[in-house]
Copies of this chain bind each other. A is one copy, B any other.
Amino acid sequence: MTSESPLEKDTGRVEAFSDGVFAIAITLLILEIKVPNLGAGATDGKLLAALGALWPSYLAFVLSFFVILIMWVNHHEFLRLVRAVDYPFLFANGAVLLMVTFVPFPTAVLAAHLGAEGARGAVAFYCATFFAASLAYNVMLCTVFPSRRLVRSDVPDEVLDRVRRAYRSGPLVYGLSVTLALWNAWAGLALCTSLWALWTNLCYRSSRP
């Protein structure tokens, strides 16, 4: 048995583990929103005002929630192309999950600085996370597609080509959003967000066998 031989013939176990990590990471996002500490003399009005002032936290929460949801959908669509699991794929998939798990941290940084000082730095860091995540998705692709080593036999080559093109555009555009964020926080965040919409659409059209 060579190191090339697959560990398992189907991807069910990796899928279940990955789904678990996605579900937990998406739920941990809420922990970044902290209850406002009003001390003594908290009136209803002051409380509601303090809750309203947390809008950057809510926005960061909603954005990251839907990013992780889209990453989950893409991950699942990707796994439908895969017929078996080996160690290179397992660790590349681990790198993707590492980035998913990391998302709550840049989300908390974003929440702390959006609409305040340091917003450009926070958005750049936030976009850089997805730059790294898109690299990880590309590494995962490289453990599956070349010579169709782990690709299901019923997936046509043109589907692989389209998925490959969609994945390769990721690092480029996320890299651009980092640069843009350093110039204008909202512009960088908008590019990041619009990318997710685009990404959904691209993958939807490209990864269906």
Contact = CB atoms under 8 A, between A and B. Distances in A.
A26 interface: yes
B24 A24 contact: yes
A160 interface: no
B19 A122 contact: no
A47 B17 contact: no
Interface size bracket, A side: 35 or more
A16 B18 CA distance: 12
A20 interface: yes
Nearest to A36: B109
A85 to B, nearest CB: 10
Contacts of A42: 113, 116-118
B17 A87 contact: no
Nearest to A57: B105
A100 to B, nearest CB: 8
A19 B22 contact: no
A98 B65 contact: yes
A101 interface: yes
A44 to B, nearest CB: 4
A-B CB proximity, top 4 nearest: A20-B23, A44-B121, A47-B121, A47-B118
